[in-house]
Structure 1
């Protein structure tokens, strides 16, 4: 099936199942697609030494990129075939330092959709539920 004929949810589910490749950013910022349903996606993300900031910790851009990815992909799950989106605002709160080489769970959820905008939120947590980053995003619908 042509990507232009697939809904956003169909595309996200095809990526999650391995039928379609994940975006190349997932090589730079290691992310694996775990699940996609309408209005929600789940990734796994693992920072490594290539994400080091000048102080020796994980750069904040790691969490920001993961949050932009999950909020955007959650947005994509509520869009029709041939409809795209663009992030127009991303607000990320860093709650505690992201550890190296520890797989974290990233979840994105749509919280509101209008004719032109989708608002979503994202969480980056460990397996115990401890919060590392929280984000809200506004995406413009591009048809």
Structure 2
């Protein structure tokens, strides 16, 4: 049986100019309050943000068929995307107005296979070091029992707008 899915999103550049004038946590909260559009990636992969606090932005998703790779488990790229999103936004939540970030380096350890039967998963991120030019951050992808399915470490470059 063929399946289909329709995805809609708003222009991700709406609010970009204003974002440069806001500190990171204020911008993230403004997106959460629908003052600015969410990134299209969240709609595409069906991710949601449940917590926005300084140093930890929690992303969640429930595995679905459209996340699968050819062998019937969630594709590593999906797992990497949610961990990278959580780590980047966690760094962004600590940045002052006029600064942003980009991922410089990313390492992911996939610890357990993820399928539809796994159920809802969430990220837990921790900014280990926030320097003037780079940040070191880590995150885990866990289920409702805090079983770790993947662990990632990232270095982010701090940008000036």
Is the TM value for this pair above 0.5?
yes
Query: Residues 121 and 134 of structure 1 are in contact (CA less than 8 Å); yes or no, is this contact kept in structure 2?
Result: yes
What is the match of residue 121 of structure 1? 138
Greater share of strand residues, 1 or 2?
1
Which residue in the other structure is 2:124 paired with? Answer: 107
Between 63-72 and 17-26, the greater mean CA deviation after superposition: 17-26
| Regions of 4+ moved over 6 Å | none
C-alpha distance in structure 2 between counterparts of 1:59 and 1:139, whole Å: 24
Match of 1:137 in 2: 154
Question: Following TM superposition, by how much is the alpha carbon of 1:11 offset from its aligned partner in structure 2, in angstroms?
Answer: 1.1
Looking at structure 1, the residues matched to 115 and 31 of structure 2 have their Cα atoms a distance apart, in angstroms, of 26
- 2:105 is matched with which residue: 78, 89, 95? 89
| Counterpart-to-counterpart distance in 2, 1:46 and 1:59 | 13
Indicate the residue corresponding to 2:9 in structure 1: none
Superposed CA deviations along residues 88-141 of structure 1, whole A, max 9, x for unmatched, are 101111110112272211122211011100111111111111111111110000
Aligned-CA RMSD value: 1.5
**Secondary structure of 2:51 counterpart:** strand
TM-score (norm 2): 0.83
> What number of residue pairs does the alignment pair up?
143
Structure 1 residues 78 and 37, CA gap change in structure 2 (3 angstroms): same
Q: Deviations over 1:50-80 (max 9, x none)?
A: 1211112211111111111000000101111
Structure 1: unaligned runs, 5 residues or longer? none
Larger radius of gyration: 2
**Where does the alignment leave 5 or more consecutive residues of structure 2 unmatched?**
1-14
CA contact (8 A) 1:63 1:98 kept: no
2:22–2:97 CA contact under 8 A, matched in 1: yes
- Asked whether the 8 Å contact 1:16–1:34 carries over to 2, the reply is no
Segment of structure 1 superposing worse, 99-108 or 70-79: 99-108
SS at the partner of 1:9?
helix
- Aligned partner of 2:32 in structure 1 is 16
Which piece of structure 1 moves more, 129-138 or 10-19? 10-19
